[in-house]
Structure 1
Amino acid sequence: MAKAQPARPLSTPAVSARLLWTAIAVTALLLLITYLVAFDQGAVSRSGMYLHELMHDGRHLLGVPCH
């Protein structure tokens, strides 16, 4: 009779830690980009309204009101 294989231990994660941190980093980056394009209104930019003017057409394209 063949010896039975042991079950996989319960402590083995279903998702690797590297994949999890990569997903978190990508999500944070996308949220930051969304904020900058949709809601910033030039507050982050050091050159006044430069970022607002740069993203202005993108806001209108996405349907985000900016004025």
Structure 2
Amino acid sequence: MTQAIAPAIPTPIQIPIREILPWAVFIGLLALIALYFVGAEQGATAVFANNYIHEFVHDGRHLLAFPCH
């Protein structure tokens, strides 16, 4: 005799929010810092006195459609 075997019911994956939250906040802060340097680091809002940061991210500014000159 053959017996029908019920298919295994997959258990849902639990995402541990308490473990992911610090990393999500850290990556969010890094993204905001990168956005600042690409988008606003020039002229009156410059954190650094020289123009090195602006020149380093200059092509990224144009790629992301930020005006700079």
Q: Which bin holds the TM-score, normalised by the shorter protein?
A: 0.5 to 0.7
Note the residue ranges of structure 2 that are not aligned, 5 or more in a row.
Answer: 1-14
Structure-2-length-normalised TM-score: 0.64
1:54 aligns with 2:59: no
Superposition deviation, residue 58 in structure 1: 1.1
Note the residue ranges of structure 1 that are not aligned, 5 or more in a row.
Answer: 1-13
Structure having the higher Rg: 2
Map 1:1-67 onto structure 2 (within 5 A). Answer: 15-41=16-42, 43-45=46-48, 48-67=50-69
List structure 1 runs of 4+ shifted beyond 4 angstroms: none
For residues 1-58 of structure 1, the C-alpha deviation after alignment (integer angstroms, 9 at most, x for no partner) is xxxxxxxxxxxxx743221111111111111111111111172335x00111111111
Aligned-residue CA RMSD in angstroms?
Answer: 1.8
For residue 57 of structure 2, give the secondary structure of its aligned residue in structure 1. helix
